[in-house]
């Protein structure tokens, strides 16, 4: 007998019928003699709808209250799922993040799991219950309800698996992890395995199928993560430690992120620590900066651009107003129709030339880019969102990522 953590995402519990199906699938596992902890997200688009309601009241609502509001979505799905188990004749209990002992730290809406007091979950498992835990939420030092950032139920699941030292299965609305989002590129190829490092990079660069922090936790505690369809019995993808049996290919995946806000600050006088003042202010407001580019000084002035998440638009406006008072003459503009396209692969550590190849693919296809950043295993480009589909199609073809080519 072993313990298993299974997580079902929002679309997998989107209706009452789907909740009943999830219950049946979990019961199959329970019948095999395993202890099951089930983590669920809010039903369907519930979290989006809760956010829309808040936005009808305020464009910049208190983050504490947003956490209070958003955490309610998962409470609906956990209680309904526990009822379904009970109705099918199985003992079950639903637990909120607090009741499951999930302690968080950080700032509201972007919390991290600091620790889990796993005793209550274990007690219910030992007493034979299927334990249903609310994803995405926890409790901070002040006793306030917190959330872990969008997609955070994955993190809840992997963190619980790490505490219980067991495998984590993530069930979702696609058959596994593909080298490109299959909804964006229909000829994408499903991967049998992917290394933690590559999945972390793909997730952080926009592959929303897994939350980045969840993969980080899996990597840190060496927890095997299996991603598969919640409604089809097809083999999914294992996320695990890199080993030689994983074919060595230069590029494993291509990701796209539309959540890019590009901010440009023109006419910044060189010297006077203006640039450091700008970035210090952004850091004080917890704005996560992604890419940065700066022009060469011209007549003692530079222009600097950086990208961040659209989520921080209101905070950027506040900071812009402050900075305009402090650094006279600067002009600040925002552009949101920007897409970040990235290629990811551990093979890039050993092989050079990928950036050059992408530059030439872009120029042959008249796709202009703004910023470029690289890490050891990825290269990212920001482009105008209107060129997104074209960029994905030509890169997939030229870099042999399409299902028409053997990997």
Distance CA 113, CA 159 (A): 8
Distance CA 205, CA 254 (A): 9
- For residue 324, the minimal CB distance to ligand ADP (Å) is 38
- For residue 3, the minimal CB distance to ligand ADP (Å) is 22
**Residue 378 makes contact with ligand ADP by CB under 6 A:** no
Q: How large is the angle between the packed helices 46-57 and 63-87, nearest 10 degrees? A: 150
Distance CA 382, CA 369 (A): 5
Binding site partner of 150, from ligand ADP, ligand ASP, Mg ion, none, Cβ cut-off 5-8 A by kind = ligand ASP
**Which of 12, 104, 155, 193 forms a contact with ligand ADP (CB under 6 A)?**
12
**Which of 24, 123, 183, 286 forms a contact with ligand ADP (CB under 6 A)?**
183
Q: Exposure pattern of 35-53 as b/e (b: 16+ CB <10 Å)?
A: bbbbbbbbbbebbeebbee
**Residue 109 makes contact with ligand ASP by CB under 6 A:** no
Among the residue ranges 174-182, 307-315, 340-348, 380-388, the one whose residues contact ligand ADP (CB under 6 A): 174-182
**Residue 135 makes contact with Mg ion by CB under 5 A:** no
**Which of 6, 153, 237, 339 forms a contact with ligand ASP (CB under 6 A)?**
153
CB atoms < 10 A from the CB of 60, how many?
Answer: 12
73 or 206: whose CB is closer to ligand ASP?
A: 73
Distance CA 380, CA 254 (A): 10
Nearest one of 131, 151, 135 to 34, comparing CA atoms = 131
Binding site partner of 181, from Mg ion, ligand ADP, ligand ASP, none, Cβ cut-off 5-8 A by kind = ligand ADP
- For residue 103, the minimal CB distance to ligand ASP (Å) is 18
Q: What is the DSSP string of 167-206?
A: -EEEEESSSS-BSS-TTT-TT--B-SEEEHHHHHHHHHTT
Distance CA 223, CA 246 (A): 18
207 or 383: whose CB is closer to ligand ADP?
A: 207
Find the binding residues for ligand ADP in span 234-263 (CB under 6 A).
Answer: 253
Nearest one of 372, 386, 374, 375 to 307, comparing CA atoms = 372
Among the residue ranges 170-178, 278-286, 324-332, 354-362, the one whose residues contact ligand ADP (CB under 6 A): 170-178
**Residue 182 makes contact with Mg ion by CB under 5 A:** no
Distance CA 191, CA 403 (A): 11
Radius of gyration of the chain (CA): 23
Residues comprising the chain, all counted: 407
**Residue 138 makes contact with ligand ASP by CB under 6 A:** no
Find the binding residues for ligand ASP in span 17-46 (CB under 6 A).
Answer: 41-42
**Residue 380 makes contact with ligand ADP by CB under 6 A:** no
Q: How large is the angle between the packed helices 212-221 and 153-164, nearest 10 degrees? A: 10
**Beta strand ranges found along 9-117 (DSSP E):** 35-40, 92-95, 102-105, 112-116
**Residue 73 makes contact with Mg ion by CB under 5 A:** no
**Residue 181 makes contact with ligand ADP by CB under 6 A:** yes
**Residue 174 makes contact with ligand ADP by CB under 6 A:** yes
3-state secondary structure of 262: strand
- For residue 153, the minimal CB distance to ligand ADP (Å) is 7
Residue for token pair 């203006």: 274
9 or 253: whose CB is closer to Mg ion?
A: 9
Find the binding residues for ligand ASP in span 252-291 (CB under 6 A).
Answer: none
Spell out the residues 6+ positions from residue 328 whose beta carbon is closer than 8 angstroms to its own: none
- For residue 207, the minimal CB distance to Mg ion (Å) is 10
Strand partners of residue 336 = none
Binding site partner of 342, from ligand ADP, Mg ion, ligand ASP, none, Cβ cut-off 5-8 A by kind = none
Find the binding residues for ligand ASP in span 210-239 (CB under 6 A).
Answer: none
Is residue 225 within 8 Å of 168, Cβ to Cβ?
yes
**Residue 151 makes contact with Mg ion by CB under 5 A:** yes
Spell out the residues 6+ positions from residue 88 whose beta carbon is closer than 8 angstroms to its own: 23, 24, 27
Find the binding residues for ligand ASP in span 43-102 (CB under 6 A).
Answer: 47, 73
**Residues found near ligand ASP in the complex (CB under 6 A):** 9-10, 41-42, 47, 73, 135-136, 150-153
**Residues found near Mg ion in the complex (CB under 5 A):** 9, 151
**Residues found near ligand ADP in the complex (CB under 6 A):** 9-12, 41, 151, 172-174, 177-178, 181-183, 207-209, 253
């Amino acid at each position: 007998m072993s313990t298993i953590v299974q997580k079902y995402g929002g679309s997998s519990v989107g209706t009452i019928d789907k909740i009943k199906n999830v219950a049946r699938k979990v019961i199959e596992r329970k019948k095999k003699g395993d202890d099951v902890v089930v983590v669920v997200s809010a039903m369907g688009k519930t979290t989006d709808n809760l956010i829309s309601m808040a936005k009808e009241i305020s464009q910049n609502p208190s983050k504490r209250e947003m956490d209070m509001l958003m955490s309610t979505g998962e409470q609906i799905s956990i209680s309904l799922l526990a009822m379904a188990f009970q109705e099918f004749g199985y003992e079950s209990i639903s637990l909120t993040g607090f009741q499951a002992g999930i302690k968080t730290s950080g700032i509201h809406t972007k919390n991290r799991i600091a620790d889990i007091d796993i005793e209550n979950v274990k007690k219910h498992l030992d007493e034979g219950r299927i334990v249903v835990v609310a994803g995405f939420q926890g409790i901070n030092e002040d006793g306030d309800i917190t959330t872990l950032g969008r997609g955070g139920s994955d993190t809840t699941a992997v963190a619980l698996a790490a505490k219980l030292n067991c495998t984590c299965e993530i069930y979702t609305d696609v058959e596994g992890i593909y080298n490109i989002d299959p909804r964006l590129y229909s000829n994408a190829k499903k991967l049998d395995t992917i290394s933690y490092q590559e999945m972390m990079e793909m997730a952080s660069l926009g592959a929303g199928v897994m939350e980045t922090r969840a993969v980080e936790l899996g990597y840190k505690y060496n927890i095997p993560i299996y991603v598969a369809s919640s409604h089809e019995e097809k083999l999914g993808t294992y996320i695990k430690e890199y080993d030689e049996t994983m074919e060595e290919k230069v590029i494993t995946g291509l990701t796209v992120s539309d959540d890019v806000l590009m901010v440009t600050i023109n006419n910044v006088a060189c010297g006077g620590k203006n640039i450091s003042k700008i970035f210090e202010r952004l850091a004080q407001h917890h704005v996560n900066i992604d890419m940065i580019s700066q022009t060469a000084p011209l007549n003692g002035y530079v222009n600097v651009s950086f990208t961040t998440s659209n989520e921080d638009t209101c905070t950027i406006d506040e900071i812009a107003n402050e900075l305009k008072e402090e650094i006279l003459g600067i002009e600040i503009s925002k552009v949101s129709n920007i897409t970040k396209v990235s290629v990811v692969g551990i093979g890039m550590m050993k092989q050079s030339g990928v950036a050059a190849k992408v530059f030439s693919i872009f120029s042959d296809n008249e796709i202009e880019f703004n910023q470029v950043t690289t890490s050891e295993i990825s290269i990212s480009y920001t482009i105008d969102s209107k060129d997104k589909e074209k960029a994905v199609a030509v890169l997939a073809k030229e870099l042999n990522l399409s299902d028409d080519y053997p990997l």
